[in-house]
Structure 1
Amino acid sequence: MNKKPNANLAKPKSPAMIDDSFGRKSIALKELSAYLELSQSTVSRVINGGAKAHRISEETQRRVLAAAAEFGYEANVIARSLRQKRTFTIGVLVPEISEGYSTAVLSGIEDALLKEGLFYFVASHRHHAELLEAYPRLLISRAVDGIIAVDTKVSENIPVPVVAISGHRHSQHMISVELDHRLAAHQALEHLQKLGHQRIAFIKGQAFSSDTSHRWKAIREVAGKLGITLYPDLVVQLRSADPSPEPGHLATQELINRKSPFTAIFSFNDVSAIGAITALREAGMQVPRDVSIVGFDDVLFAATSHPPLTTVRQPLRQMGQMAATTLLGLIQGDGRMAPGSVITVYSELVVRKSTARLSH
């Protein structure tokens, strides 16, 4: 004899709908959660992009999103902001948005913020003084909960939590994420020294970059310990804010025109190292047959350049993720890190085909 279906297993009735301020039909979180027979926190986490972080099953995510689409549910961000006194928005300051350093760091920031369901603004200042002054105020006027400053000097008077990446400005008002430049310099110089190079040329970073002076100080200290002579004629500096390889190209032309022999170049970043390779090729020199080159950062195209670039790898994506999660901790007041702290990250030498043993 067939049993009657259990009424308790029947699908719940469609939830009550309400009119929003535009006369559209919508549903509240409470009603949507009751309809799905899930907690409001579970439904909220799925809607706001936090399902992965809270290990909510894909089946549950599909159910929630399907019901939200069917009944026109949208998270009420304004209500959530008023309730928690937050806007769930982060401001990010970068020198420029181009292939290389900033893009890699931004990808890590994005990973962490999207995981927590946060929105973010990115402001590119190109090192213009007026924008460096105006953009933090502009972000604060947009009611951001905090700011991440990438290779950007910011004022100590910002009234929201700040995390700086490569800021090198230790302040009781912010947390800094910084590379151990002494280790990075040692990895590059020891590698070139073991290959027999002693007359090493250096392409310093632009004066406005936060990393330039700290990295150069580290290079001088490490060179002294390794017994490598720094020749003034073999030191040039990137001058333009252009994020392309052209500044590195021009700096290497300047080196070549000085007529002071060198067998290797340690360049401030991978982008300028690519420009250096082009300048050497135009002068009839081959890399690494005539000149070995070491870059810095290990951006995406470093492995596919011609030749593939030996470089000091910064954990750029990880630095972005660290900065974002640290900032969220400050905003939430978790007490794990206090303003004024410094988070140190470490480099890795990646040996490819742009360096070789000195043959003459």
Structure 2
Amino acid sequence: MTKKTVRSDDGRPVSLKVLGEYLDLSPATISLVMNNAPGAKSIAPATRERVLAAAKKFNYRPNTIARSLRTRQTFTIGVIVPEFSEGYFTMVMNGVEEYLMHAGYLHFVVSHQGKSDLIDEYPRLLSERSVDGFILVNTSLNEQVRVPVVAISGHRKMQNVTNVMLDHDRSAALALKHLYDLGHRRIAFMKGQRHALDSEYRWEGIQQIAKKIGITVFPELCVFLEANSWSPELGYPVVRDLLAKTRDFTAIFCFNDIAAVGAIRAITDAGLSCPNDISVIGFDDIASAMYQTPSLTTIRQPLRRMGETAAQLLLKRIQNPLEAYPETVVFEPELMVRESTSGVRILAETVKRKAKR
């Protein structure tokens, strides 16, 4: 078979029809491959490679406007997050972005910084740009939207919303049992900010599990985060102030890893050490947790996988609007034991050594 000549006399990319003649394939086959449509999986890998190679050679691009008119989709997703800092949100977004990219979707990302007016306004603005669906990260809608929504750590039950979340009761059980088995009984607790949607659920889980396994939650050892911050500064002042009032505790369970890093610094600045004087356990298992000094014992959320799953669920709902969809998808946490927690026996020996000096 002689290959047909592909020409574009005015320098513009070739059309789908001309590319089909060159490859001796139907325009429909080429369209399936270029749009990464579900039917493309039935096309032989060698054929898909030929299509992609020819498209690259002749600078062919699908007509996105025609595609949108045909499918009534814009192939764009609105993603709403509280902020863009290193840690929790970076890891979630890695999973979201990778899945959307491979599926051929673009996305708009906006951050509301916990401001209620932006939380209300962003869904409207993105809807005006005809996004096909929303992914919400630690954010909850106040009004329903017409397109599918998947919320990561959103918790609020709403029509048309799938919630992807962690099992917070299991998380509390893993953390508290670990500290209990190490001999800790006087434990300080850190509750998250009111605008952090996980705060109440995690706090309820802590109280229930603590009662179940015999740990008393002392009010004087509870600190409450208020700052709208996503740096270690979040945990530093509350632990510094707690230590100024009392040092009668042997461990602290922090709201997240970023706050735990600040807590460890406050412990050090008070002339104490972690874990010899006070054990610290975080939450999330962000990328830097195992590289801290000491490396951080923490509850791991499978953040990247949660982001990837949210994107996958959303696209499935967009592409199959009449199919039933799950209201909730729950992920299991994992305890990552590292250097920032140790037994109370070590603490007692340290105190004795200091008393002898």
What's 2:318 paired with?
331
Equivalent in 173, 176, 187 of residue 163 of structure 2: 176
- How well do the aligned residues superpose, as a CA RMSD in angstroms? 2.1
**What residue identity is the alignment partner of 2:129?**
R
Cross-structure match for 1:32:
19
1:174 deviates by 0.9
Could you tell me which residue of structure 2 aligns to residue 284 of structure 1? 271
> Which of 5, 12, 16 is residue 14 of structure 1 equivalent to?
5
Residues 14 and 237 (structure 1 numbering): CA distance in 2 closer, same or farther, change over 3 Å? same
Residue 268 (1) aligns with residue 260 (2) = no
Q: Secondary structure at the match of 1:192?
A: helix
The CA distance in 1 between the partners of 2:290 and 2:31, in whole Å, is: 42
Does the CA-based 8 Å contact 2:23-2:51 persist in structure 1? yes
**Partner in structure 2 of residue 353 of structure 1:** 339
Alignment equivalent of 1:76, drawn from 63, 66, 75: 63
Aligned with 2:343: secondary structure?
coil
The aligned residue for residue 227 of structure 1 is 214
**Corresponding residue number in structure 1 for 2:351:** none
Counterpart selection for 1:100 from 74, 87, 90: 87
Instruction: Decide whether aligned partners of structure 1 residues 261 and 174 sit closer, same or farther in structure 2, where only a CA change above 3 A counts.
Output: same
Distance 1:246 1:42 in 2: 55
How far apart, CA to CA, are the structure 1 residues paired with 2:42 and 2:277? 55
Alpha-carbon distance in 1 for matches of 2:42, 2:185: 55
Instruction: Give the deviation of 1:243 after TM superposition.
Output: 0.8
1: CA distance between counterparts of 2:55 and 2:15?
A: 10
Distance 1:251 1:60 in 2: 61
Provide the TM-score with structure 1 as the length reference. 0.90
- One-letter amino acid of the counterpart of residue 234, structure 2: P
Alpha carbons of structure 1 residues 258 and 41: separation in structure 2 relative to 1, 3 Å: farther
Q: 1:301 to 1:174 in 2, by over 3 A?
A: same
Cα deviations across residues 218-242 of structure 1 (Å, max 9, x unaligned)? 0000000001000011110121111
Give the structure 1 partner of residue 352 of structure 2.
none
What residue number does 1:89 align with? 76
Q: Deviations over 1:330-356 (max 9, x none)?
A: 2122655437x1111110101111111
Q: Unmatched 5+ residue regions in structure 2? A: 349-357
List alignment gaps of at least 5 residues for structure 1. Answer: 1-7
The question of whether the paired residues in 1 share the 8 Å contact of 2:155 and 2:165 is answered with yes
Report if the CA contact (8 A) 1:156-1:173 is conserved: no
Residue 156 of structure 1: aligned partner:
143
Alignment equivalent of 1:192, drawn from 166, 179, 185: 179
Aligned pairs for 1:205-244 within 5 A: 205-244=192-231
**8 Å Cα contact 1:233/1:258 also seen in 2:** no
TM-score, with normalisation over the residues of structure 2? 0.91
CA distance in 2: counterparts of 1:280 and 1:45, whole angstroms: 59
Deviates more, 1:255-264 or 1:136-145: 255-264
What CA distance in whole angstroms lies between the structure 1 residues aligned with 2:304 and 2:219? 35
CA distance in 2 between counterparts of 1:56 and 1:235 reads 60
Q: Identify the match of residue 240 of structure 2 among 240, 244, 253.
A: 253
The C-alpha deviation readout for 1:230-275, integer Å capped at 9, x for no partner, is 0011110121111111011112112112215110010011000001
Report 1:44-59 matches (<5 A): 44=31, 46-48=33-35, 54=41
| 1:308 lines up with 2:295 in the alignment | yes
Shift in CA distance, 275/357, structure 1 to aligned 2, threshold 3 Å? same
Per the TM alignment, residue 121 of structure 1 is displaced from its structure 2 partner at its CA by: 0.7
Distance 2:95 2:28 in 1: 26
One of 305, 330, 336 as aligned partner of 1:344: 330
Distance 1:140 1:18 in 2: 40
State which drifts further: 281-290 or 56-65: 56-65
The 1:195/1:105 distance shift into structure 2, 3 A limit, reads same
Distance 1:140 1:63, change over 3 A: same
Larger displacement relative to structure 2 (328-337 or 78-87): 328-337
Residue pair 1:326, 1:337 contacting (<8 A) in 2 also: no
Asked if 2 retains the 8 angstrom alpha-carbon contact of 1:93 and 1:125, the reply is: yes
1:318 Cα deviation after fit:
1.1
- 2-side partners of 1:114 and 1:226: how far apart? 45
Query: Is contact 1:329-1:336 (8 Å) kept?
Result: no
Q: Mark the CA change 1:173 to 1:65 in structure 2 (over 3 Å): closer, same or farther.
A: closer
Work out the CA distance in 1 between the residues paired with 2:199 and 2:286.
18
